[in-house]
Every structure is written in structure tokens, then in C-alpha cells.
Amino acid sequence: MTTDIVKTTIEVTVLHHASLHIGLGGLGLAELDDEMDYGECVGVSRIIRSAPLRTVKAVRQTLLALGNDGHFFDTEE
């Protein structure tokens, strides 16, 4: 069975003062985006690759690798 799930890898590059380094680790993507647009950082993001996950097994394995329980998309074989 094929799926319509796509795995996209995004790279974010941020320039900031050294004193902010520890604080960046706790930011989500939306917060980091705000820091780059309005805060004390300059940055850019780009898509590195995007590829379909063709099988239910590939979707589940990828979800597990991301720390999910493997059932986020409720895919069935």
C-alpha cells in the first residue's frame, strides 16, 4: 500500500551573539523564526530534500525515529 506522506528535511542557519547559544536550544521553529525576523538573530532556512515515504512501513519507521509512537497518520496496511 502506498502513502501520500512526504519527508522534508529543512536546514536552518542562524547568526547570533555567543551569549544566546544556550537559549537557542529550547526554541521551537516558530520562536526561532521570530528571533530571526524581530529579535537578536539573523538567519535563513532552506529545504535540503523532500521525498515521499512510499510505504506504510517507511512512514512508521520514520515516525518512530522522530520519537512518535508510529501512529500519527493512522496509516493501515
Which residue matches cell numbers 542562524? Answer: 14
Query: Secondary structure of 8-76 in the HEC alphabet?
Result: EEEEEEEECCHHHHHHHCCCCHHHHHHHHHHCCCEEEEEEEEEEEEEEHHHHHHHHHHCCCCCCCCCCC
> Average pLDDT of each block of 10 consecutive residues along the chain (77 residues)?
90 88 80 91 95 94 96 72
Which residue matches cell numbers 512526504? Answer: 6
- Indicate whether this model's pTM tops 0.85: no
Per DSSP, what are the bridge partners of residue 45?
12
Residue ranges of domains in the chain: 2-65
